[in-house]
Structure 1
């Protein structure tokens, strides 16, 4: 399979990130799958990065091949300027040791935000101290490097909790400098999700579009129509799709999402891998 070309990668991507600086706007880059990097006032927050081929290697000799579709945009060891990194849940494309271990090693003061329910699993996978990650639960808020982060439940495929009632799958609302961004992690549209999100009036909602198809034998997500409808329901000023074009067996055509957004009158942007978007978009 010919890999989908990145908009920019390696040195070009690194230069774009490090050279951006603004006191009045922020910029976001899509790094593939559900991974985004946000830069605001020289502070960088990394959401659910997957920057390796660990899943392709893991499933190479199985019936569940994870054939990569898109180019890898950056060696995670080069991301030595990260202030906050998140993992929304324990699936490897959101909690990848090959991605996170060099990032944690090369950023000595980094804040690592996870669901509290996953603490032991996370510490074992990335080989960090048990008390190192900052644990979250739904409704909980923390301050991290100038970002206010609020935890929300996600359904993948259900809103799953441990014996303490703590969420195993989460989304995060980020508030900074008068802006609000929602990163869903992996989720379906469960009862009450729009009521939780609507008061935040997000400037950007990062929503998955790969859908929920049992024949894939993996947990599912919003499909393109649901992502557009959810963006509309919560009053998001902009919806950016994710969780597609990484693995051939579990993807979706973003043009279907674009059509649904036009149908429901939802403002959207489809980023190419490695592409950055400054928000608000300069006139």
Structure 2
């Protein structure tokens, strides 16, 4: 069996080494004045990645500069929400627009299932699927199935009954979930939030994930949270709670 490894790059950026492929989900190496730490070195990732999965078009999830850099040196498969297809097509990767319910085979034995997500480009359209004029959803999650393991990256989302139903069908072993939450103060600043730690633990338990990895809690001033709160909630949850693994930025661990 191939090595199964996860590397967290900060925020929602994750590298998966599964099925003989290196898959980057929401890789982001861009500069931003609100960043709490500088971007990492994109070059080693760009030169080694086989596939890039983009959950939505917010700048910390869709990084055109990195995608173009990766596609220069090697063949890169790129999955994006269909409304992003025009922008992504100019980046040099082998791009496919996808929607909830789609399934894509990246290589023999490596499959990606596409799930919905509920977010917003702004608060004006917040906490919805973000349908464009053609009815295509802007916000997605991805389930990667390889090497006997099912890994769910939820993108940015709150928990809805529809999401619970869709995610429950995938029987994920590992759930990578945003845990920065949402509140009136951040929404007053125009920040569209996500599920919080308690919601993430309950959601992971409902969908049957044995491991929960908190994401999206460390990058931007004014939009952080403490991942240890997720650990505390899981410990208090009791039977059925997932094991919470708090990732260390730029560190890898076996799945």
Same fold (TM over 0.5): yes
Alpha carbons 1:89, 1:169 under 8 Å: kept: yes
Q: CA RMSD in A?
A: 1.8
Alignment of 1:1-283 (within 5 A): 23-53=1-31, 55-56=32-33, 66=34, 68-76=35-43, 79-107=46-74, 109-123=75-89, 127-128=90-91, 132-146=94-108, 147-156=110-119, 157-213=127-183, 214-264=187-237, 265-279=241-255
* 1:29 CA displacement: 0.4
Alpha carbons 1:216, 1:249 under 8 Å: kept: no
Which shifted more, 69-78 or 148-157?
Answer: 69-78
Query: Are residues 232 and 216 of structure 1, via their aligned partners in 2, closer, same or farther at CA, if it must alter by over 3 Å?
Result: farther
Alpha carbons 1:206, 1:239 under 8 Å: kept: yes
Distance, in Å, in 2 between the alignment partners of 1:39 and 1:231 is: 22
Secondary structure in structure 1 of the residue aligned to 2:201: helix
Secondary structure in structure 2 of the residue aligned to 1:151: strand
Alpha carbons 2:4, 2:147 under 8 Å: kept: no
Alpha carbons 1:70, 1:245 under 8 Å: kept: no
Alpha carbons 2:64, 2:91 under 8 Å: kept: no
Pairs aligned (count): 241
Consecutive unaligned residues in structure 1, runs of 5 or more: 1-22, 57-65
Distance, in Å, in 1 between the alignment partners of 2:206 and 2:68 is: 38
Alpha carbons 1:32, 1:273 under 8 Å: kept: yes
Structure 1 segments, 4+ long, off by >4 Å, are none
- Per-residue CA deviation, residues 138-168 of structure 1 (Å, 9 max, x unaligned), is 1011111342111111000211212332211
Alpha carbons 1:45, 1:82 under 8 Å: kept: yes
Distance, in Å, in 1 between the alignment partners of 2:36 and 2:24 is: 22
Distance, in Å, in 1 between the alignment partners of 2:142 and 2:10 is: 18
Query: Are residues 41 and 193 of structure 1, via their aligned partners in 2, closer, same or farther at CA, if it must alter by over 3 Å?
Result: closer
Alpha carbons 2:46, 2:67 under 8 Å: kept: no
- Per-residue CA deviation, residues 42-71 of structure 1 (Å, 9 max, x unaligned), is 310010001131x32xxxxxxxxx1x2235
Consecutive unaligned residues in structure 2, runs of 5 or more: 120-126
TM-score normalised by the chain length of structure 1: 0.80
TM-score normalised by the chain length of structure 2: 0.88
Alpha carbons 2:76, 2:94 under 8 Å: kept: no
